[in-house]
Amino acid sequence: MGMTASNSTALIDRFGRRVDYIRLSITDRCDFRCVYCMGEDMTFLPREEVLSLEECARLVRVFVSMGVQKVRITGGEPLVRKNALWLFEQIGTLPGLREQVLTTNGSQLDQYATQLKAAGVHRINISLDSLDAERFRKITRVGDLTKVLRGIEAARAAGFQHTKLNCVLMRGINDDEAPALVQFAIDKQLDIAFIEEMPLGEVNHSRGSSCVSNDETLQQLQQRYTLVSSTETTGGPARYWRIPGTETRVGFISPHSHNFCEACNRVRITCKGELYLCLGQEDMVDLMPLLRNHPDDDAPLRAAILNAMGIKPKGHDFDLRRAEPAVVRFMSMTGG
């Protein structure tokens, strides 16, 4: 058994929720420019303003020593970070960690899937919003669908199971593709999650008109598939349905239509070392100075993390009718 955090260091917020899941972005850079995540012309952070991989490893080690059992590495696109594999290897050896997972656009998986499995990555989530090559390029602005499909095959060949597709449906762009994406997931023995587009960042289309509610998507899918409601969870906010006779689970992440904050067990760390307590709020603690000013002493870092639990808000409030986005930052900043 790995070490478990004693109650004195366990991360319990003031609403009694235990934080045992962190999402760490290791880069704001990406080889795609998806319309709901980034602007057309992104300016990326200079290297010295981004956590080093050693600092990332140290942060994860400290969080795991405080009871975190699940770590998701995100970006940008995490696999474009040079030597990212080293970090996965470090995290993979941490005692007490139950799950190391990765969110990726899949473009680099044909190259890295086998090594990621060897490094101790348990599961992979792959963003995929269209199975039509031309449409895929339009949504990602630059992405090559065949490369992503090769990546999905590589993950299967490497032995990854329960790989999950993440889909954002946008009205008039890809909202007719839900059944085809589910069929693809069934054929490839994947899970799939539909995510309502989040009102973050200054994005160039009006979200109220483009957001497709998951209730609509569910109704569309129920015309074609038998969906059986399931109580299972993967430790995140998705509500799952099973399709009998298949391996596939269909999840819905619905920040607008169903607020899922009461069971929120996660915090996010940006590639600049900012600890965000909630995706939809601005409350943030800057951990980078603590890492850099105290290279050999984790105590100040641990104290700051414990204190941060006191400002984790009860929930987010995404209101699509509001003229301004609730939070002005791109998805690529907080790693989704």
Percentage of the chain surpassing pLDDT 90? 71
Tell me if 245 sits within 8 A of 186, measured CB to CB.
Answer: no
Please tell me the predicted confidence (pLDDT) of residue 26.
98
For the chain, what's the residue count? 336
Sign of the C-alpha dihedral computed for residues 253, 258, 264 and 267 taken in this order: positive
Q: Does the structure show a pLDDT above 50 at 1?
A: no
Q: What does the pLDDT average to over 37-66?
A: 94
Please tell me the predicted confidence (pLDDT) of residue 333.
62
* Alpha carbon distance 160, 142 (integer Å): 27
Using alpha carbons, list the distances in angstroms from residue 4 to 9, 122, 212, 250. Answer: 10, 20, 41, 32
Give one DSSP letter per residue of 66-129, joined into a string.
TT--EEEEESS-GGGSTTHHHHHHHHHT-TT--EEEEEE-STTHHHHHHHHHHTT--EEEEE--
**Checking DSSP bridges between strand 266-269 and strand 239-242, what pairing results, if any?**
unpaired
**Checking DSSP bridges between strand 70-74 and strand 21-25, what pairing results, if any?**
parallel
Please tell me the predicted confidence (pLDDT) of residue 199.
56
Of 207-211, 237-241, 290-294, the range with the highest mean pLDDT is 290-294
* Alpha carbon distance 252, 274 (integer Å): 28
3-state secondary structure of 221: helix
* Alpha carbon distance 156, 124 (integer Å): 10
* pLDDT tens digits along 93-135: 999 999 999 999 999 999 999 999 999 999 999 999 999 999 9
Please tell me the predicted confidence (pLDDT) of residue 94.
97
Domain architecture of the chain: domains with CATH: 21-334 (3.20.20.70)
Q: Chain-wide mean pLDDT for the chain?
A: 88
* pLDDT tens digits along 175-230: 999 999 999 999 999 999 999 876 555 444 454 557 788 889 999 999 999 999 98
Higher confidence at residue 330 or residue 265? 265
